[in-house]
Amino acid sequence: EAVIRLFNVSKRFGAKLALSNITLDIQKGEWLYVTGPSGAGKSTLLKLFYLGEKTTSGQVLAFGTNMNRLARKDIPFLRRRFGIIFQDFKLIPNRNVFDNVALVLEARGEPRNMIDKRTRNILRHAGMDKRMDAMPASLSGGEQQRVAVARAIAGQPEVILADEPTGSLDPKSAEIIIGLLSAYHEKGATVMVATHDRDLLARKKGRIIRLEEGRLVEPSTGEGGAP
Ligand code: ADP
Ligand code: ADP
């Protein structure tokens, strides 16, 4: 069962062809790596799924819905089905750790006691329950990313999109982040990780696809060729 399908998708920014004629199915429960050099189109690919960008041509189906036909009012509901993680964390700087996670649930109108319970629970899983009152700037990069993962998971999304989630982290922190994502994946979520980090590919098994200059290319032998 495919959760996301792309048919002949291209994306152009002015004269730049960022993605060229991509056809791809992502199965429910899959762990998928998107590899390729910087500028290959990895971030752009992930953005198409939740309408962070629109295709120039071709179709993206997410959960059976054609993104070209999704009404503007339905975009927030689509986005709730994704948990998104960025290399630079994107925590809200003037909110503490607890609020960064809880706000996702508040935005959905969840009851207060449920928000508190789930936020504490998830921060405990992420090993950040002792830092719930801390402001993001006082945390290390690895800690900030643990909070960002907790926030992405809090709404129990079906699909996690992680764009270079370990790109700015030390190996130990990277391992913690992949561990958290793996635990969520094991509960049945689909996880897509864009990365050019070879170590990451060795750390956790999954399907590997590779972009080069916007084209999907067959990975070479072994673990997918040079990142
Ligand atoms: P990657 O994530 O693999 O590094 P990106 O998807 O970020 O690659 O970028 C693919 C190409 O598209 C690059 O040449 C990049 O400069 C270009 N690009 C991405 N976003 C934009 C944008 N908003 N405007 C113009 N060009 C863009
Ligand atoms: P516990 O039994 O330890 O209280 P559960 O496993 O029932 O916790 O999960 C409680 C909440 O924490 C759920 O919302 C669940 O999605 C979340 N959760 C569970 N495991 C993880 C994990 N590894 N990373 C992040 N959140 C998790």
pTM above threshold 0.90: no
- Integer Cα distance of 207 and 54 in angstroms: 25
- Integer Cα distance of 204 and 219 in angstroms: 17
Residue 49 in this model has a pLDDT that exceeds 60: yes
The 10s digit of each residue's pLDDT in 165-210 is 999 999 999 999 999 999 999 999 999 999 988 888 888 889 999 9
How far, in Å, is the centroid of ligand 2 from the Cα of 155? 12
Q: Which ligand is nearest the CA of 35, by number?
A: 1
Nearest CA to ligand 1 atom 12: 18
Using a CB cutoff of 8 Å and minimum separation of 24, what contacts does 118-123 make?
118/154, 119/154, 122/150, 122/153, 122/154, 123/97, 123/98, 123/147, 123/150
Q: In 10 A of CB 51, how many CB atoms?
A: 19
219 — pLDDT class (breaks 50, 70, 90): low
The phi and psi torsions of 10 (rounded to 5 degrees) equal -125, 150
78 — pLDDT class (breaks 50, 70, 90): very high
Contact residues of ligand 2, CB 6 A cut-off: 118, 121-122, 125-126, 153, 156, 180, 183-184
Burial track 2-33 (b if 16+ CB lie within 10 A, e otherwise): bbbbbbebebeeeeebbbbebebebeeebbbb
ipTM of the complex: 0.74
Stretch 101-113: mean pLDDT, rounded? 95
Residue 225 in this model has a pLDDT that exceeds 60: no
Helix ranges, the chain (H): 42-49, 75-79, 97-106, 112-125, 141-154, 171-186, 198-203
- Integer Cα distance of 98 and 101 in angstroms: 6
Q: Which ligand is nearest the CA of 187, by number?
A: 2
